[in-house]
Copies of this chain bind each other. A is one copy, B any other.
């Protein structure tokens, strides 16, 4: 559902074909989403069947034929509804990657610390990567800012946890 919102929003700004959409998302939104190519194509097909999109064949040079999608009035209506719902609602995030924290005491304290420091390294690297990304136009930046804020909070928390465990040791 959010993936449909994502595609509709991009198509609202500009007509695009599947490959192009996927590429844009991969280049600019990796930190926030991970939409695979077959999924993208599939969603575009489904939305076309629903009358939200209108594809038209296009050619650029000798390149393979493209299907360029344009958003229809029905698509715009769907976008508006999805957007309003999405902005108004808080969808709880489950950090399945953190389940292990519940069993930290099953690890010898020094090892737990070593592993957490590993985690710290990769987290810090990702935050650095995201901070280096040049700013985007319009609201897209909010999404990236949010991700950065989240990673920052995650890092803070990890540091507190590590300090705490160090003190106990």
Contact check, B87 vs A100: say whether CB atoms are below 8 A apart. Answer: yes
Of the candidate stretches A1-9, A15-23, A39-47, A57-65, the one touching chain B is A1-9
From the candidates B88, B147, B153, name the one contacting A118 in the complex (CB within 8 A).
B88
- Known A-B contacts A95-B146, A146-B157, A161-B142; the reply to A87 vs B101 at CB < 8 A is yes
| Contact A123/B157 with A84-B107, A139-B104 known, Cβ cut-off 8 Å | no
Q: Please determine whether A146 and B32 come into contact, CB atoms closer than 8 angstroms.
A: no
* Per-residue B-contact encoding for A46-60, CB less than 8 Å = 1, 0 else: 000000000000000
Nearest residue, chain B, Cβ from A164: B142
* Minimum CB–CB distance for A76 against chain B, Å: 10
CB-contacts of A100-129 with B (<8 A): 100-107, 111-112, 115-116, 118-119, 122-123, 126
Interface size on A, residues (CB 8 A): 62
Q: Do B90 and A34 touch (CB < 8 A)? A: no
24 chain-A/chain-B pairs, Cβ below 8 angstroms: A2-B100, A5-B100, A5-B103, A6-B99, A6-B102, A31-B92, A32-B102, A33-B94, A33-B96, A33-B99, A82-B100, A84-B115, A86-B99, A89-B118, A89-B119, A93-B97, A95-B147, A98-B146, A101-B146, A102-B139, A102-B140, A149-B157, A150-B150, A152-B153
A-to-B contact residues, CB < 8 Å: 2-3, 5-6, 9, 12, 29, 31-34, 79-80, 82-84, 86-107, 111-112, 115-116, 118-119, 122-123, 126, 138-140, 142-143, 146-147, 149-150, 152-154, 156-157, 161
